[in-house]
Each structure stands twice: as C-alpha cells, then as structure tokens.
Amino acid sequence: MRVGVPKEIKNHEYRVGLTPASVSELVANGHDVFVETKAGCGIDFDDDAYQAVGATILPTAAEVFSTAEMIVKVKEPQPQEIAMLEPHHILYTYLHLAADQPQTEGLMKSGATCIAYETVTSPAGTLPLLKPMSEVAGRMSVQVGAHYLEKEQGGRGVLLGGVPGVAPAKVAILGGGVAGINAAMMATGQRADVTIYDINPDRLAELDLHFGSQIKTAYASKAAIANAIQEAELVIGAVLVPGAAAPKLVRRDQLSTMKRGSVLVDIAIDQGGCFETSKATTHDNPVYEVDGVIHYCVANMPGAVARTSTFALNNATLPHAIQIANKGAVKAMADDPHLANGLNVSGGHVRHKAVADTFDTIDYVPLD
C-alpha cells in the first residue's frame, strides 16, 4: 500500500503521524511511504532520517494526498486537507467529530474511509489509541494549571503544593479515567490537596486503592461538583464519553461562586469541553477569563510536548497502521472488530452511533 504522511498544519502542531522508526516497519512489510518535506522537522526528524529508512520525500501535501492510498496524521484534517481527500483514501488519525459538524460533513462529502484513533477499542473495552495522549494531557493539565495560578499570569497567586505553615492548593479533578488519574499523579507529586470526582463507584474504589491517603474521592453528583468548584483553586475537566460530546458539568452561572483567579483546565475540549464556558483555544493564545476565572482550553495540548507525544502515539497506532496497510481497511476491520470501532465515516455516511447522535441532521448508517 502507498502510505502518506503530510505535515501537520494546525496551530503549533509539531507532532507527526509516523516516526522514522515507524516508517521503517511499514517499509519492512513491503509498503511504500511518502512523507511531505519537513513533516518531522519540528521534533528533529529531518528528511534525511526518513529517506534513510526507505521513505520518499514529496514537496507538498497535495502530492502526498494524490500519491497515497492511506493518509496517516495526528490531528483532524483541516478544511484544505479535507478538500484533497477522495473516496479511495483511508484516513487514519484523531478526528473528534462530535465537536465538529463541518468536519464531519466534509469527510462525508469526500467519500473517504475515516478511522479515528479515539474510538478504536481494546478487548478490555478501553481506548488504547487515545490513552497515550490522555496520559500526556492529564500530566500537562497540572503543569499548566500551576503556571496560570501564578499572579503574573492573572491567577490567584497560589503555589500548588503550599509550603510549611501554608496550606496547599485544592485541586478538583472531574473524571477518574486515564487523563484524570495522570493529573492526580502529578498533582499529588506537587503535594496539592487532590479530590477526584467520578460517577462510577467501582472506579472510585480503584482510585482509592491506587492512591491510598494521597487523594480523596467523591461521587460526582451535581451538588458535589458545585461545592468542589467553590473550594478549589484548580479544576481539571477530564470526562470522556467515547465518540460523543462531553457533558457540561459546570454551568456559566456557577463561575461567580468560584474564587477569583482560580483556573479551569478543560482536557475534554476536543469533544466540545465539559464546562459551559469552554471554547477551544490555541497555543498562541491559550487562556481567557470569564468572571475572574482563567480558562485553559487548548485543543491540542499534547502538541506542546510534541516529541514525547509523537513517540507515545506511534507506539499505540503503528500496529493497526501495519494491519490496515497489509490487509486493506475492509479486511483489517473485518478481522478485528476493535479496529472496526474506530470507523467513523465511510462511503459518505457516519458509521459511529455516538457521533451521529450528536447531530440532529446526520443519520447513523451502520456498516455491514
């Protein structure tokens, strides 16, 4: 199969769909890989590194799209990329369609087969291709939250871990999944006062066993969340409904109850965000303020640590990429129902129910 890797064009996105090591694996399986020039330069993978493992360097994204059968990316395709997709293409990347109806409609119009990393499952029911970026985003959420709590950043002027004689900051983590647990690991490492909120009692029990006395756990009732945001200096939204839009856990009118200079970090922003006042931001302009509360809602948080993120992502996505290339998308999905769960769009239709259910005007058409 002809596999193409275009350069990412989203704001400050330096990750790349395939590392040279991943290209080497595909070439060893008999495939041809075409990489847009400078696709990996942002993280020190120059064109020579790709050529050394058998890739062909092409000067433009247009040439990559016109040459390749499978397009491997990191972030969702931008409008100019969607315009280059054709029915014969297989697109393998993050999509997050529930938060983006124009992208969904554009992919439907293209006729391409679009497999989303974030809805591929494992035999255990987890999301193995989303996990590495959730780990990165969870750890980063505490890092950026602590930064924006600093007074010169507009924050409350609070040190996350406090000092002897001064209490640490309170951190409320909404969601005890992969992102939430990684946020908790970082926050407890900085000696913050951490509480994780979740609606799954079994998950709360697991978290309690994992962290012991390092954190507190609480059932995520509306009343509990309302009380949590009043007390916390840092609130991290880490909820996830696979493929669907994130639920809104904090209303606009509740911000007035929060401490001035407190910080909200919305990890769920790729799926529309879990705070009513959330709107996607970029690394160029990452924060904004509403009612004295700082909102950090960067839609590609892991792009800030692009080298770490690229290696972590490739570790998870490469095995499926090889199977798709070896067998073709149809046979690969027929052989692996967990990969088939990653199919979001094909043949002009939405194939993932949670995505279709998000939109009033788009029907769910299951793939036979």
pLDDT tens-digit profile of 328-368? 999 999 999 999 999 999 999 999 999 999 999 999 999 87
**CA dist., res. 120 & res. 103, Å (int):** 19
pLDDT band, residue 116 (cuts 50/70/90): very high
The pLDDT value recorded for residue 351 is 96
pLDDT band, residue 150 (cuts 50/70/90): very high
Instruction: Look at strands 234-237 and 263-266 and give their pairing.
Output: parallel
Cα–chain center distance at 104: 17
Per-residue pLDDT, averaged over 243-271, amounts to: 95
**CA dist., res. 67 & res. 368, Å (int):** 29
Report CA-CA distances (Å) from 327 to 1, 242, 333, 336: 9, 26, 9, 11
Q: How many CA atoms lie within 13 A of 265 on its CB side?
A: 30
pLDDT tens per residue, range 295-332: 999 999 999 999 999 999 999 999 999 999 999 999 99
| For residue 99, pLDDT beyond 90 | no
pLDDT band, residue 204 (cuts 50/70/90): very high
Which percentage of the chain shows pLDDT scores above 70?
Answer: 100
| Ordered strands of the 349-350 beta sheet | 56-58, 32-36, 2-5, 70-72, 90-93, 113-116, 343-346, 349-350
Which percentage of the chain shows pLDDT scores above 90?
Answer: 96
Kindly list the catalytic residues: 96, 270
| pTM score, whole prediction | 0.92
Cβ contact 75:99 at 8 Å: no
The pLDDT value recorded for residue 241 is 85
| For residue 243, pLDDT beyond 90 | no
The mean pLDDT of the chain is 96
pLDDT band, residue 291 (cuts 50/70/90): very high
Per-residue pLDDT, averaged over 51-63, amounts to: 98
The pLDDT value recorded for residue 367 is 84
The pLDDT value recorded for residue 144 is 98
**CA dist., res. 29 & res. 83, Å (int):** 30
Cβ contact 344:357 at 8 Å: no
Report CA-CA distances (Å) from 256 to 169, 232, 259, 276: 19, 13, 8, 13
Cβ contact 291:66 at 8 Å: no
**CA dist., res. 217 & res. 194, Å (int):** 9
| Ordered strands of the 193-198 beta sheet | 216-219, 193-198, 170-174, 234-237, 263-266, 293-296, 287-290
The pLDDT value recorded for residue 240 is 87
